[in-house]
Amino acid sequence: MDFEKIISQMTLDEKLGMIHGDNVYDTKGAERLGIPPFRFSDGPMGVRGEFDRESCDYVKNTDDLATSFPCPTAVAATWNEERAFENGETLGREIRGIGRDVSLSPGINIHRTPLCGRSFEYMSEDPHLISKIAAGVIRGIQENDVAACVKHFAANNQETRRFDVNVEVDDRTFHEIYLPGFQAAVQEGHSMAVMGAYNKFRGEFCCQNSYLLKNILREEWGFDGVVISDWGAIHDTKKALEAGTDFDMNVNNRYDEYHYANPLKKMVEDGEIPESAVDAVILRVLKLMERLKMFDADRKSGAYNTEENRQAVLNVARESIVLLKNEDKVLPLAKDPSKSILLVGENANRLHAFSGGSSEVRALFELTPLLGIKMHLGGNYHIRYAKGYSSEQQDEEAARKLREEACELAGKADVVIYVGGLNHEFDIEGQDRKDMKLPYGQDELIEALLAVKPDTVIVNMSGSPVEMGKWIDRAKAVVQYWYSGTMGGTALAEVLFGDVNPSGKLPTTFPKKLEDTPAYKFGEFPGDDKVEYKEGIYVGYRYYDTFDVEPEFCFGHGLSYTDFTYSDMKVQVTENQDAKVRATVSCTLKNTGDRKGAEVVQLYVSDREASVSRPAKELKGFRKVTLNPGERTVVTFELTEKDFSFYSVEDAGWKWEHGDFELLLGSSSRDIRLKEKIEL
């Protein structure tokens, strides 16, 4: 298509209509010239409901009910790039199916602190894991003639004062921790869109920050897609346009007052901004439309609420569940209809999909653990439910009554499954948690349940870590279950009763207590006008492992119903200075148990001597492998020069230094099974 010609035929009003909101998630398009509106869709957990142009609220017809997806933390917990791809592919298919063009996802901001309200919408504390999972999700989404929009660029790691907090982070940290996920999203995932964050970075709002959007994103990384503002994140029309923000989106119905509407029009008319600057944006937008086949008859049509989509999200949910602890092989539970089962806890019976902020989904349905378990076991089982605690405001007396009721039933039941944790009053956009504790008196309840029923299976449902110290030593079986969407309850039932062997691994450390976390310890969270990331590169396990702070459950941890052994580690160092691959690492993994299962082999690099301080270890590779009992396979990784490097501020680039490195292969960041020293 001759875009130059089309642009020359457009009026200024038509151009501006294309680049600012004309409904919460739509632009206008230029009908006269056959240019359709752009239609975005929140968010990472499925198609968000349709919005009304006047009220900026849900339309609430039935045609926007959709599949609810596991939260991004769950996707990362699969540690499986293929699953990530399928998750994205399914999300893209739903979005196209409802007729939208851009998925406002994935969310990939680093888990800097467990308290960030949006942790559940993000993936991990580790840039390598984020990079691989995000790239997979993005490639999947974009299989459907739908663009991904990775968010929120950049350093958007808290909700407190999210609209204006100024983030200060040193250059090395920024490059080693906060940028790699976005770089991979752009260069490996080929994300066609990027969302600029609300916050300021080094004194300037992200959506008008030339260093971020021009120097890094477009010049350094070669990004040729579009930048979409977070909703209401532009404060200065000229700066935003000049920095390279293409779309001005917001959440109010005064569409003509948006920055890229009348204010920009006036600036162009007054000669303050050349119309050619607007044309450059329009050209980018038209090119994206072309890539998405928005002018073509053969564009993919997608499909939402299909059985195929439900199977895909079920697979993700299955693989995301993390078996944290399993003493005396309490799990899997035997399938025996003569045993009575009691489920306790509000989360066994609560719907979560339509809450949490912009990632909420009007789910066609959502299987709770209670429903999932009943559907899974069928009518011959005796299954009861006791709430145990309530998220509603109540007095001490009412809380005690609920607790006692649950304990009395637990004493009589053969099997007790507790499903508690958080909900979207805590894991939520717009606010951070105050602490890491379980709310609603759950610690007390769990302690009481364990006293009457020591085998109680504890399922923690949350999108971020919680403290478990009060009872963890007494609990034998503990499972981490995330917001898992439409098919969640089935996935949980299958894992608890052994139809699925758990294979999820923590994508983020579960610290023992808030006081142990680096952002807390170094004092700057949530900050005030400004927050300085004083912990530097020591985020997550990089901190815990370097400074010997023992977490409750470490990064990468997750058990299985079978056992794996690691052997025959081989390392081959490439001597040739020009070779990109510096080392090939392999080991043999064997399933020595009696069930089929999947293990995530994790490769960490440890720089033993360096001119700068380096973390005890850094994840540089992982692979999920499924093996039958007795089966073995060789797992191989290739490490490039960059995998041994740190970001040198002096050289403004990645640098590796000669000397000793240690390569670590293991089942988690703290369960290292094999290691070998090499000299480079």
Give residues in contact with ligand BGC (CB under 6 A).
Answer: 42-43, 104, 151, 230-231, 358
Query: Smaller CB distance to ligand BGC: residue 250 or 315?
Result: 250
CB of 94: closest distance to ligand BGC in angstroms? 16
* Closer by beta carbon to ligand BGC, 43 or else 536: 43
Q: Compare residues 54 and 396 and give the one whose CB is closer to ligand BGC.
A: 54
Least Å distance, CB 657 to ligand BGC, is: 39
Q: What is the DSSP letter of 579?
A: -
Nearest distance from C-beta of residue 429 to ligand BGC, angstroms: 6
How many helices (H) and strands (E) would you count in the chain? Answer: 18, 24
Q: Which helix (H) or strand (E) holds 460?
A: strand 457-461
Active site residue 230: yes
Annotated catalytic residue: which of 230, 432, 545, 643? 230
Minimum CB–partner distance for residue 584 and ligand BGC (Å): 40
Identity of the residue, 249 or 635, whose beta carbon is nearer to ligand BGC in the bound complex: 249
Exposure letters 69-81 (e unless 16+ CB within 10 A, then b): bbbbbbbbbbbbb
* CB nearer ligand BGC, residue 197 or residue 625: 197
> What is d(CA 631, CA 69) in angstroms, rounded to the nearest whole number?
33
Paired strand residues for 342:
384, 416
497 by DSSP, 3-state: which?
A: coil
Query: What does the alpha-carbon distance between residue 342 and residue 82 come to, in Å, rounded to a whole number?
Result: 36
User: What count of residues does the chain have?
Assistant: 680
CB of 31 to ligand BGC, least distance (A): 25
Which DSSP string corresponds to 110-175?
---STT-TTGGGS--S-HHHHHHHHHHHHHHHGGGS-EEEEEEETT----TTTTTPEEE--HHHII
Closest distance of CB 233 from ligand BGC, Å: 8
**Structure letter (DSSP) for residue 286:** H
605 touches 661 (CB < 8 A): yes
What torsion, rounded to 10 degrees, do the Cα atoms 134, 140, 143, 145 define? -60
Name the one residue in this structure whose structure tokens are 């020293």: 677
The neighbour count for residue 297, using CB atoms within 10 Å, is 5
Whichever of 358 and 606 has its CB closer to ligand BGC, that residue is: 358
Smallest distance from ligand BGC to CB 51, Å: 9
SS3 518: helix
- Give the residue at shortest CB distance from ligand BGC: 358
- Cβ 28 to ligand BGC shortest distance, Å: 18
Report CA Rg, the chain.
Answer: 25
Nearer to ligand BGC, 104 or 192 (CB): 104
Q: Could you give the C-alpha distances from 493 to 90, 348, 486, in angstroms and in order?
A: 23, 11, 14
Q: In 3D, which of 556, 497, 547, 492 has the Cα closest to residue 521? A: 547
* Residue at token pair 């993000």: 122
Q: Which is nearer to ligand BGC, 42 or 552 (CB)?
A: 42
Would you please indicate which residues are annotated as catalytic (active-site) residues?
Answer: 230
